Amino acid sequence: MIVCPNCKHQESDGAIFCSECGMQLVQYTPGETQRFDTATGELQTVSAPQPVSQVPAWISLHLLESGQILPISDRMEFTMGRVSENQPIMPDIDLSPFKAFDNGVSRLHAVIRNNAGNIVIMDLGSSNGTYINGMRIVPNIEQPLRHGDIVALGKLKMQIVLS
Amino acid sequence: MPIKRPDFYALLGLLRSATQEEIRRAYHKAAKRLHPDANQAPGETELFLEVQQAYQVLSDPARRSAYDATLGPEETAPEVVEKRVLLSRKEIARLPESQLLYVLIDIIPSEEQKKTISGAPLNLCLVLDCSTSMKGERLDTVKSSAVQIIRQLKPNDIFSVISFNDRAEIVIPATRHQGNTHRLETRIQMLQTAGGTEIFKGLQAGFEEIRRYANPTTVSHIILLTDGRTYGDEQQCYELAKQAADLGIGISGLGIGSGWNDIFLDQLASYTGGTAMYVSQPKDIERLLNEKFSNLNQTFAENVVLDFQPSEQVTVSYAFRLQPEAAPLSKQPPIPLGPILKDWPLSVLLEFLIQPVKAGQETVDLINGKLEISAATLNMAFQPVPLRLAVSVRETITPEPPPPALVQALSKLTLYRLQEKARAEVEAGNYEKATQHLQKMATHLLVQGERSMAKTIMLEIENIEREKKFSESGDKQIKYGTRALLLPGERKR
């Protein structure tokens, strides 16, 4: 059994995408494996599976204005934006508590992915753009992120802290 | 030197290892086509007698083994197709629970065949809905599109047109037009609308026309254009589609507007390896009909059927054709997979559900069967291509990342399946679940840069929340829109 790290839906072993939320199940863990002990002929449980949902924080967003640090765990990929009423699209990380609206953050602004250790960011066609160290990036194209980069969603600036 | 005659197995398109059941089926199929009451081409009655003789020998185990003794070693048939198979895992763990495995199969004409492919003549029948609802722009566009098709026919092509409403009428009987297209165009221009929609009547008349010239050296296909629903005769239509499939006749559908039944048309087409397409506005009729016509002209093999013995341990839990024309497939063998075009592979994705592996079991057979290929472009009988897919069982495995091509195809297909879920949930009255699934879809589409599709879905979510149902054509727009995303980049519109 695999548990989707995004929505906790249970999928059969071997599933590649979550059938509930469409998320790619990047992490593979073998299910509970049983084996015949050749000496005794008894069925034994070899290893208990570790739950997949515990991906340690691999990136933190250090918001420059408020000084807050947001560690991101569990997800290997997350969208950032702000929640607004009557709007069905929900970003994974809601930045509205950090004056997202005033800073010109779109509802679905950008996505950060961890492709097996390569951290990338992609602008999702936001109105006010995404900047890395002051350079505006082209929408819908992945750009590499390095430790210490300053990313701005519109005018909302944050420093990337990789762990 | 005497001309080498095909042996009885080749004559029936069988492997030497064929079971009695396979022999019986192959005989029935050939006999139906070649029977003196039905056949057309000269020489087919003689062929029928040979097929009968072959069956008499092979169906009798004693005579069969005597006959087998006279045969040389089984010749490996020239490879007609090349296939590429990708598995999500080559090994599976011995688990006390069920597990999933994905297989992507690509089939293309072999290099040898590519050099010699010649175009096969078409045997095409248009079955046109002329019910009242088609009045005006719809029928006008259908007429002009049909005329365009007529002008593109090759002298050898056979063409027929049926119009139907509550009854069917033969507008153009199946014939080779031999350059005289003017007369045919006039007939098309005279079509008028009246009455309701009874699809079976139209299909049946089309079937009767097309079968007169249906033989293994022509590409026979019925294209049904309709904008309405048929009531009560769906089952009859399905039976007819199965008969058509047996004779190598394909059926595709173009549904115009929002009133037609997409589930019916998808199912109907799937029996023959054909496709249903969605025409949102009349001006698209011409483009889609032309596209279908050009695909038929590009046919290398009209249909590939995947046949295997179903097992208790392994079931196909989802089957989908990604290319050349994206469409859901039947999950029960024999599965019609659809056509192979000359420069466009047939690509299908299968999801297998594997029940717990027994103690001591070393391998799990996913498929142990064959691909039956019908190809009008090849002027010869050839044997089915054996296909065996198996995975070995290990006590524990370290899962490797699945092949990228497979993951890529699955990522889009996952969205298509979310859409299927949402539709079923609206049907069942679970509106909240449905909108949740659509929300996930829209978010993924936005992330993938498919903004207009995402927008359509967002509007639909609002509609479902308000009206507790899909908007007039919203369900079809989302379904066929998501399906179009499955095509590789250069084929997308």
CB–CB contact A31 B95 (8 Å): yes
Shared domain for B158 and B283, answered yes or no, is yes
Residue A91: closest CA among chain B residues belongs to which residue? B443
State pLDDT tens for residues B212-249: 888 878 899 999 999 988 888 999 999 999 999 988 89
CB–CB contact A88 B461 (8 Å): yes
pLDDT at residue B140, rounded to an integer = 94
Domain assignment present for B411: yes
pLDDT at residue B101, rounded to an integer = 94
Shared domain for B194 and B206, answered yes or no, is yes
Which residue, B259, B274, B297, sits at the end of a domain? B297
CB B345 within 8 A of CB B325: no
Which residue, B394, B427, B460, sits at the end of a domain? B394
State pLDDT tens for residues B327-384: 999 999 999 999 999 888 899 999 999 999 888 888 899 998 888 888 877 755 567 8
CA-to-CA separations, B128 to B139, B227, B430, in angstroms, rounded: 9, 10, 37
Residues of chain B short of pLDDT 50, as ranges, are 1-3, 492-493
Shared domain for B30 and B160, answered yes or no, is no
Evaluated on CA atoms B411, B371, B305, B91, the torsion sign reads negative
Shared domain for B339 and B365, answered yes or no, is yes
User: In chain A, which residues have their Cβ closer than 8 Å to the Cβ of B94?
Assistant: 33-35
Domain assignment present for B474: yes
Query: Domain containing B260: what range?
Result: 122-297
Shared domain for B44 and B104, answered yes or no, is no
pLDDT at residue B346, rounded to an integer = 93
CB B102 within 8 A of CB B347: no
pLDDT at residue A51, rounded to an integer = 41
Q: What does the H/E/C string look like for chain B? A: CCCCCCCHHHHHCCCCCCCHHHHHHHHHHHHHHHCCCCCCCCCHHHHHHHHHHHHHHHCCHHHHHHHHHHCCCCCCCCCCEEEEEEECCCEEECCCCCEEEEEEEEEEECHHHHHHCCCCCEEEEEEEECCHHHCCHHHHHHHHHHHHHHHHCCCCCEEEEEEECCCEEEEEEEEECCCCCHHHHHHHHCCCCCCCCCHHHHHHHHHHHHHCCCCCCCEEEEEEEECCCCCCCHHHHHHHHHHHHHCCEEEEEEEECCCCCHHHHHHHHHCCCCCEEEECCCHHHHHHHHHHHHHHHCEEEEEEEEEECCCCCEEEEEEEEEECCCEECCCCCCEEEEEEECCECEEEEEEEEECCCCCCCCEEEEEEEEEEEECCCCCCCCCCEEEEEEEEEECCCCCCCCCHHHHHHHHHHHHHHHHHHHHHHHHHCCHHHHHHHHHHHHHHHHHCCCHHHHHHHHHHHHHHHHHCCCCCCHHHHHHHHHHHCCCCHHHCC
Q: Does A2 touch chain B (CB under 8 A)?
A: no
Q: Does B464 touch chain A (CB under 8 A)?
A: no
pLDDT at residue B265, rounded to an integer = 95
Domain assignment present for B1: no
**Half-sphere exposure (CA, 13 Å, Cβ side) for B98?**
15
Shared domain for B70 and B83, answered yes or no, is no
pLDDT beyond 70 at A32: no
Count of CB atoms situated within 10 Å of the CB of B148: 14
pLDDT at residue A6, rounded to an integer = 77
pLDDT at residue B381, rounded to an integer = 57
Shared domain for B107 and B170, answered yes or no, is no
User: In chain B, which residues have their Cβ closer than 8 Å to the Cβ of A28?
Assistant: 399
Of A31, A35, A140, the CB nearest to B97: A31
User: In chain A, which residues have their Cβ closer than 8 Å to the Cβ of B458?
Assistant: 88-89
CB–CB contact B97 A13 (8 Å): yes
pLDDT beyond 70 at A30: no
Shared domain for B365 and B453, answered yes or no, is no
- Token code pair at residue B359: 């103690």
Shared domain for B42 and B146, answered yes or no, is no
Shared domain for B143 and B282, answered yes or no, is yes
Domain assignment present for B3: no
- Token code pair at residue A51: 């739950």
pLDDT at residue A48, rounded to an integer = 39
Specify the pTM.
0.74
Domain assignment present for B399: no
Domain assignment present for B255: yes
Q: What confidence tier does A54 reach under pLDDT thresholds 50, 70, 90?
A: low
pLDDT at residue B76, rounded to an integer = 57
Q: Which of A3, A18, A21, A127 to mutate to test the interface with B (most CBs of B within 10 A)?
A: A21
Return the CATH number at B54.
1.10.287.110
pLDDT at residue B144, rounded to an integer = 94
**How many separate domains does chain B show?**
4
CB B94 within 8 A of CB A35: yes
ipTM: 0.78
State pLDDT tens for residues A74-132: 778 888 988 877 666 678 888 888 888 899 998 889 999 888 788 999 998 888 999 99
Shared domain for B83 and B179, answered yes or no, is no
pLDDT at residue B396, rounded to an integer = 81
Return the CATH number at B98.
2.60.40.3670
User: In chain B, which residues have their Cβ closer than 8 Å to the Cβ of A94?
Assistant: none
CB–CB contact A46 B396 (8 Å): yes
Return the CATH number at B230.
3.40.50.410
pLDDT at residue A52, rounded to an integer = 44
Of B100, B437, B451, the CB nearest to A15: B100
pLDDT beyond 90 at A26: no
Shared domain for B316 and B335, answered yes or no, is yes
CB–CB contact A32 B440 (8 Å): no
Taking CB atoms and an 8 Å cut-off, how many pairs form between chains A and B? Answer: 105
CB–CB contact B414 A36 (8 Å): no
Of B99, B407, B442, the CB nearest to A12: B99
State mean pLDDT over A136-146: 90
Which residue, B394, B418, B451, sits at the end of a domain? B394
